[in-house]
Structure 1
């Protein structure tokens, strides 16, 4: 296989992202990307520090793409309208790019992830502000929405809904309605000491 000229960290990251979508984020390694672009793995170490660095770059790319999609979809929206747009974008991105979606769900240590992740978080917090949630409750609400949506996406991708009724689309609509109800009726702040719940 002939080597390809003009390799850059950006082009290698895109190749890795495409690989993640095809075979899974956890399968992304320098060796696999080198095979894809037609060079020996050693040739990539002038651009990358290793497989962890490569996967971190894919995570940053994915968060950036997701943030850009959300910015467009959420412009001028608030309340239920914004929530509907948020979950629709998250789901469509996961369906279009399953490996990259996985990459947005892992812990990232690369400094470049800060701004990309912060943009997505800020957009989600903005929705919670629109529901009138106080600052100390917004992170809880963001976690509720994110974990609910991601859980549904993962279960459906794994075929968990294939052999039961009703249609997953009906459940998705009901899930979004339930999230809206939860956000509009958010409980009063609880004590920070969670140990009381296990007493």
Structure 2
């Protein structure tokens, strides 16, 4: 493939394709150079390092997910919105497994602030306004949603639900309903701390 026309955007999208096809760990400057049939040195005018390349893929994935999630939850509230948000995460992970893995890449503070990460949090908080939670409770709930969606998807992708009944789809739907039920009855005060062992 010719070197002409290489740009940071084109390189990032090619790296995202590599991530989806071969895993996020396969995203390196050397692998990208092989993809374009060029020497790695020729890419450094566009990409600073493998870390920079992976951060770019992470930011692309976060942006794509934010757009899909916002579209999925538009016009929905409470249980429907929670389900739409969860399904948008799961659908994206199925379509783009490497990019989904990239969203866990640790960005430096400046990149994190410029990424779509804050949009994900804002979208979750917008959904949670339908449950009338206080600010601190909403923060806990945002973390609950994110960790539940991420945990289920990662376990499912690893085959964690493939060897027993009920079907993973049934569990997923029950979990989404359970999240809505918990959010609708969120405790207004933290549970008393148990005894230290």
**Range class of TM-score, shorter chain:** over 0.9
Residue 141 of structure 1 deviates from its aligned partner by 0.6
Aligned to 1:128: 128
Aligned to 1:140: 140
Aligned to 2:118: 118
Instruction: Report the secondary structure of 1:6's partner residue.
Output: coil
CA distance in 1, matches of 2:2, 2:124: 43
Aligned to 2:19: 20
Unaligned runs of 5+ in 1: none
**Structure 1 residues 158 and 42, CA, compared in 2 at 3 Å: closer, same or farther?**
same
CA distance in 2, matches of 1:182, 1:106: 29
TM-score by length of 2: 0.93
Checking the alignment, whether the CA contact within 8 Å between 1:53 and 1:110 is kept in structure 2 is: no
Checking the alignment, whether the CA contact within 8 Å between 2:55 and 2:105 is kept in structure 1 is: no
Unaligned runs of 5+ in 2: none
Give the count of matched residue pairs. Answer: 195
Which has the higher mean CA deviation after the structures are superposed, 52-61 or 149-158? Answer: 149-158
Aligned to 2:36: 37
Matches within 5 A, 1:37-186: 37-109=36-108, 111-115=110-114, 116-186=116-186
Residue 38 of structure 1 deviates from its aligned partner by 1.5
TM-score by length of 1: 0.92
Instruction: Report the secondary structure of 1:88's partner residue.
Output: helix
Residue 111 of structure 1 deviates from its aligned partner by 2.6
Per-residue deviation, residues 76-124 of structure 1 (Å, max 9, x unmatched): 2111111111011010001000111111123211634324111111101
Instruction: Report the secondary structure of 2:110's partner residue.
Output: coil
Checking the alignment, whether the CA contact within 8 Å between 2:54 and 2:105 is kept in structure 1 is: no
CA distance in 2, matches of 1:121, 1:37: 36
CA distance in 1, matches of 2:194, 2:11: 48
Which has the higher mean CA deviation after the structures are superposed, 100-109 or 54-63? Answer: 100-109
CA distance in 2, matches of 1:172, 1:190: 27
CA distance in 1, matches of 2:32, 2:132: 46
Q: CA RMSD in A?
A: 1.7
Checking the alignment, whether the CA contact within 8 Å between 1:29 and 1:54 is kept in structure 2 is: yes
Instruction: Report the secondary structure of 1:171's partner residue.
Output: helix
